[in-house]
Structure 1
Amino acid sequence: MKIATFRAGDQTLYGAVGDGGMIALSPEFPQWPTLRDVVQAGALHDLALAAKGKAVTHPTGGFEYLIPVPNPEKIICVGVNFPDRNAEYKDGQEAPPNPSLFIRFPRSFTGAGQPLIRPPETPQLDYEGEIAIVIGKEGRRISEESAYDHIAAITLCNEGTLRDWVRHAKFNVTQGKNWDLSGAMGPWMVPFTSAAQLDDVRLTTTVNGELRQDDRTSRMIFPIRKQIAYISTFTTLVPGDIIVTGTPTGAGARFDPPRFLQPGDVIEVEAEGIGTLTNTVADE
């Protein structure tokens, strides 16, 4: 089952992805106004049951995808989490003992099918294809063994980055990671039911049909269980929180010369068992 948040006219709805469009389910569940509320209630299964046998209410072309979980309390991103990504920095350092983390704001993401926005202040818009997890159960100091019990769903992320703005300060990357509508998330989320959905999944990114990133989650320096355990050491994870789990080697900045995104480019992030997140690029 695939569950999404979408906009049709002046309505924001959620529902199940059907053949040829969306099956709106939010009108049936007024007690849960958004998918964040559904996740908090542990009710994704209720949506699956409600969708059975129902016809599409909003055909493809009559709606647009929004990020799956609206207004999450936290979006925490994991950096430099594949072996080849660490080598790309060419600083002679081994992979660090703990993950590098940074925060993104919900406003920095758009939905599937929408353009990533390149601002006038810099042309260095880059792509980073990633798998993101949606927390479904609150926890603090979660053990690695029980980490997967806290996941509600999985989605995809293009963690778009303005590369020169990442280097504007000495210690942080916040500026380059939070331009409005510079990244994307979606198009839907898939309920998490099995470790097989995360432990060894192929993740790819293409730009205009050219394969740029290609790796497997089994090669992560910090597996997703470790990420949940480490992050929950210092902050309470709550339902609807999102962890963006890391991108493989092959981002545009690492080519010589760099290959930054241009208006009209088409970026596709794909992962086994989840689907494909497709976006274009436009100037602000």
Structure 2
Amino acid sequence: MSNRIAAFRADGTTRYGVVTDEGLIDLTDVAGYADLQAVVVDGALEKVIALAEGRAPTFASDEVEFLIPIARPEKILCVGVNFPDRNAEYKDGSAQPKHMSLFPRFPRSFTGHGQPLIRPPENHTLDYEGEVVVVIGKGGRRIAAGDAYDHIAALTIANEGTIRDWVRHAKFNVTQGKNWDNSGAIGPWLVPFTDPAQLDDARIVTRVNGEVRQDDVLANMMFPIREEIAYISTFTTLVPGDVIITGTPTGAGARFDPPKYLVPGDVVEVEVNGIGTLTNTVADE
């Protein structure tokens, strides 16, 4: 049985279910949880996925609209400049930072798999950033790095789309460039986290119109995911359903000369082995 579980809209309602090669098995009315976030909060991902055993698909994949898996997280926190080559891209002579950079994103800044990333009329420097996402399943404060993996419920993928000019509006603040409505994407689904190798051996590959732009392994992160969870939980309590977007490799469009920003009609794919491929087009608002 597939271990992929997605949130989606079908027949005018928001639903969730297991994704198979033949289609989606709707479990909304079977599992009894209001949405996929409630499943995560209750620690019931694997139990709900098991309910799909022996059931036929309810919808074909092209009959549904994929949604971001966690619709209303208390927190979406993103780690910036987390690969050595990314730090070097800034060409400011800085050494590896002592502490990680963090910024928040809001749920409405993301859309689902298969939906367009939206380029706003105010600025056309829409860029891509392929990243691994961890979803917290067990909350905690001051979590030790060695225990951090015990607090992860599931993995998914983000295209942490960014309006580059707007991250430069202030000296120490990128929030406004990171939160344009529907400028990024999360999905296509959640995969339960059951084995450290799912992260330790993960590779991010981002393609634009089939051209590889980003390609790196999580093992090269300056701040590994264990450390991210430990550091973040030092200053804020993590709760089930919180989302951590863990950092993007070198190769974003802004770093080319001239820059390669996204334009309407582009197709962006972010692939992570063991999770899947998040695919989005680009459209003007």
Q: TM-score range by the shorter chain?
A: over 0.9
Contact preservation (8 Å) 1:133, 1:245: yes
- The Cα offsets for residues 42-74 of structure 1, whole Å up to 9 and x where unpaired, read as 101111210111110011211110001111110
> 2:190 matched to 1:189?
yes
Q: Distance in 2 between matches of 1:156 and 1:33?
A: 23
Q: Distance in 2 between matches of 1:190 and 1:45?
A: 9
Q: Distance in 2 between matches of 1:181 and 1:17?
A: 23
Aligned to 1:222: 223
Q: Distance in 2 between matches of 1:48 and 1:35?
A: 11
Query: Which secondary structure does the structure 1 equivalent of 2:200 belong to?
Result: coil
Contact preservation (8 Å) 1:214, 1:248: yes
Aligned to 1:12: 14
Question: How many pairs were matched up?
Answer: 283
Aligned to 1:130: 131
Q: Distance in 2 between matches of 1:156 and 1:49?
A: 22
Q: Distance in 1 between matches of 2:85 and 2:50?
A: 42
- Residue 9 (structure 1) shift: 2.5
> 2:252 matched to 1:264?
no
What amino acid does structure 1 have at the position aligned with 2:23?
A: G
- Residue 176 (structure 1) shift: 0.2
Aligned to 1:109: 110
Structure 1 length-normalised TM: 0.99
Detail structure 1 runs of 4+ shifted over 4 Å in the superposition: none
What amino acid does structure 1 have at the position aligned with 2:15?
A: L
- Residue 19 (structure 1) shift: 2.3
- Residue 29 (structure 1) shift: 2.4
- Residue 165 (structure 1) shift: 0.3
CA RMSD of aligned residues (A): 0.6
> 2:46 matched to 1:27?
no
Q: Distance in 2 between matches of 1:225 and 1:199?
A: 10
What amino acid does structure 1 have at the position aligned with 2:103?
A: F
Q: Distance in 2 between matches of 1:36 and 1:59?
A: 23
- Residue 169 (structure 1) shift: 1.3
Q: Distance in 2 between matches of 1:200 and 1:55?
A: 33
Q: Distance in 2 between matches of 1:172 and 1:20?
A: 45
Contact preservation (8 Å) 1:133, 1:243: yes
Query: Which secondary structure does the structure 1 equivalent of 2:62 belong to?
Result: coil
Aligned to 2:145: 144
> 2:274 matched to 1:273?
yes
Superposed, which structure 2 residues align to 1:13-162 within 5 Å?
Answer: 13-30=15-32, 32-162=33-163
Identity of aligned residues (%): 67
> 2:162 matched to 1:167?
no
What amino acid does structure 1 have at the position aligned with 2:26?
A: A
Per mean C-alpha deviation after superposition, the further-off stretch among 182-191 and 10-19 is: 10-19
Per mean C-alpha deviation after superposition, the further-off stretch among 128-137 and 41-50 is: 41-50
Q: Distance in 2 between matches of 1:241 and 1:262?
A: 31
Q: Distance in 2 between matches of 1:25 and 1:251?
A: 37
Q: Distance in 2 between matches of 1:150 and 1:51?
A: 25
- Residue 20 (structure 1) shift: 2.3
Superposed, which structure 2 residues align to 1:246-265 within 5 Å?
Answer: 246-265=247-266
Q: Distance in 1 between matches of 2:22 and 2:54?
A: 14
- The Cα offsets for residues 203-258 of structure 1, whole Å up to 9 and x where unpaired, read as 11000000000000000000000000000000000011000000000000000000
Q: Distance in 1 between matches of 2:109 and 2:55?
A: 34
Q: Distance in 1 between matches of 2:94 and 2:75?
A: 30
Structure 2 length-normalised TM: 0.98
Q: Distance in 2 between matches of 1:172 and 1:253?
A: 18
Aligned to 2:5: 3
Contact preservation (8 Å) 2:31, 2:51: no
- Residue 170 (structure 1) shift: 1.8
